[in-house]
Chain A
């Protein structure tokens, strides 16, 4: 099956810093999503981005489908950005099965 690798596994940032999270995947995908998991466990949708670039406030994402990677940018980080960020992909031959990466644990310190 498809492999999804996220890097780095852990990231410690000072408030105000910028960062880039990476997601590599091993096959063609129909769908790529970025999520933020809050401390209570809920997955919050950040981006639905099978290709191209999107921005939402201090967050932006880029997916280069032909090279099989996606990047999530966090600018001017805040303590509320802390948590685990997941990348998940849906392959062309799969019904409803998102394949998740292992996540990047982000800690933003004041």
Chain B
């Protein structure tokens, strides 16, 4: 079974631009969660989607948004990029969100200049 895939793997953007990251979950998994990892804040939860619905959201500004498609693929968007948005963005999939094991993709490393 193929693992979680994320595209692109690396991205360089300029302040004020917007960016869209993509995540394809493991086949059969319907829950997708997104996380941001920075040296200062560690791994922080952004949001979780299940059957195209956002069921949980972390403490991030409204510039961070996401969506999930009917095939469970998910995208996250960051608008009006700031230098502090430079981070590793990880997505994880699981069969069901409440208790099942989460599996992570390789991440997208975003650099904002």
Residues of A within 8 A of B (CB): 30-31, 33, 35, 40-43, 45, 48, 50, 86, 88, 90, 94-100, 102-103
B 100-111 to A, binary, CB cutoff 8 A, 1 in contact else 0? 111111110100
Residues 62-113 of B contacting A (Cβ, < 8 Å): 88, 90, 92, 94, 97-107, 109
Task: Name the interface size band of chain B.
Answer: 20 to 34
CB distance from A3 to the nearest CB of B (A): 13
Q: Which residues of B contact A (CB under 8 A)?
A: 31-33, 35, 37, 42-45, 48, 50, 55-56, 58, 88, 90, 92, 94, 97-107, 109
Chain A facing B: main interface SS: strand
6 residue pairs, one from A and one from B, having the closest CB atoms? A96-B48, A96-B97, A100-B43, A48-B101, A43-B104, A95-B55
User: Are A95 and B42 touching (Cβ within 8 A)?
Assistant: no
Q: How many A-B residue pairs have CB under 8 A?
A: 67
